Amino acid sequence: MTAYLLRRLLSLSLSLVAASLVIFLVMEVVPGDPASFMMGINADPQAVAALRTQLGLDQPLPLRYLGWISGLLQGDFGISYTYRVPVSELIAERVVISLPLTLYALALSTLIAFPAGILAASRRNSASDLSVMGATQLGVAIPNFWFAMILVLVFAVNLRWFSAGGFPGWEAGFWPAMKALTLPAIALALPQASILARVMRSSLIDTLNEDFMRTARAKGLSRGQALRRHALRNALIPVLTIIGLQFSFLLAGGIIIENVFYLPGLGRLAFQAITQRDLIVVRSVVILLVFAVIVVTFLVDLAYAAADPRLRRRRT
């Protein structure tokens, strides 16, 4: 198992290096010059050239890439071209909103999907199964930004149970902050719960048809006991994969929801940085998201081994 973990860490480290190189090169070929954007259309060329030198944009690409990577390893993401403050401070201010929102949405998605998927699989082709499948199909089809606007209209404008947007900050208290994240989390969780419930149902149905499940029933276990003791654990492998992918998607893909609810999260920071040609912020946010995806992938691998001992023995 130790050898397997070391191989996975090496593989994921190489993936991170390759991703950093791709991100850096893509940002460099994007049209437009940050210095020209900051100085304006009618800026003096000498002033633009001086700003490029100040920002280090006149250095060769290899030196700039190595300088960026060296800074990342030391926790220095550079200075924002637009805000003129350390990028690490901007990210720290935004990640305390995006990460709790992601975890909140993922928790809601899991709490909805697991019971729904188990109910549909255990009562296949019944009215319950058809109802769950119909609801999940609707959940997948509805765009989350449209659902978010409906939530605002119903619960913020009409019922006035929640605010229509904004974030009071964690200094205002835990519950006011969580209340501000509730509608965005629900909007993000609905389509993810629908996908996860369908995967849970499909995986559980396949597991229920395995020979070892028939053996468990032959030994006297009821259908519910066999499902709880044997089927659920063996059906978790594809479900864990989807949960890992959903965490990465929710963390990186919440830009639309953050803009609908005016949440100052990572997605909104990346969007503003793109419009302002603040490439160093864009690079830093993207590499941070890639790092999060790689860490989650590694954790999902560990969860595989915990859920299925056969995989643990196979990888040693």
The Cα 256–Cα 227 span in angstroms is 39
Q: Cα(71)–Cα(132) distance, rounded to whole angstroms?
A: 50
Mean pLDDT by 10 residues, the chain (316 residues): 73 86 82 68 74 74 84 83 85 90 93 90 86 90 88 89 87 90 92 91 83 75 72 79 84 80 86 82 87 82 66 53
- 8 Å CB contact between 254 and 156: no
DSSP for 228-256, please give it.
IIIIHHHTHHHHHHHHHHHHHHHHHSTHH
Q: CA-CA distance, 45 to 229, in Å (whole number)?
A: 72
| CA separation, residue 211 to residues 203, 204, 234, 239 (Å) | 15, 14, 13, 21
The reported pTM is: 0.81
Does residue 123 contact residue 205 with C-beta atoms inside 8 Å?
A: no
Q: What is the pLDDT of residue 194?
A: 92
Q: What is the per-residue pLDDT for 307? A: 60
Question: CA-to-CA distance for 61 and 197, rounded, in angstroms?
Answer: 47
Which domains, ranges and CATH numbers included, belong to the chain?
2-73 (no CATH), 91-312 (1.10.3720.10)
